[in-house]
Amino acid sequence: MLYIKINAALEVVAVQEDMPEEVKGWGVGKGVCPYAFSFAPEDTEYNNPILGEGWMNKNDIRNHPSPKMFAQQIADSLTKFTGKQFLMTDRGDGYKDDFGFVEVPQVGDHVSKYFNGDSYYVGKVISVSKTFKKIVAQDEQGNKVSFNRRRESGAWVSNSMWSLIGGIHDERNPHF
């Protein structure tokens, strides 16, 4: 999971893959974590004394009074901070965590396709549309696979079945 440190202006100031050391060990019954992010001043167990500042992950977006706007702001700030393209995601009605963000695969990235426990290496990304709705990958033999983004989700899909995943993966579901 991606952990993001934001300042009082809600700008990204640090990013890391693992839970930050200063946040580990805090939780119910252990007092207030001075490094954890919160918007809820009445939450005395978890809130940050400086509201809106500290470490967060995508699960904290739902606590913002305007989660869609906040997710867009974080995606824009992540793009500026990392130099990689991030997009706001909206899973749609009926989901507890409607809004989030996702990193867009870049030209030259290795990608694979995944469905029901099976994954196959596709090749490298050769194009990403300006709207980020379409990503095309190509293998060494010149075979191309096109993936289209589902609405504002964080998923790009090929043939209404195969999901795009980053990296080189070639695994089969052992349950078949």
pLDDT tens track for 117-168: 888 999 999 999 999 999 999 999 999 999 999 888 888 999 888 899 888 8
**pLDDT tens for each residue of 50-84:** 455 788 888 888 777 788 888 999 999 999 999 99
> Could you count the other beta carbons within 10 Å of the beta carbon of residue 63?
15
* Domain locations along the chain: 3-103, 110-166
Long-range CB contacts for residues 151-157, cutoff 8 Å, separation at least 24:
151/90, 151/92, 152/87, 152/88, 152/89, 152/90, 153/89, 153/90, 153/91, 153/92, 154/87, 154/89, 154/100, 154/101, 154/102, 156/105
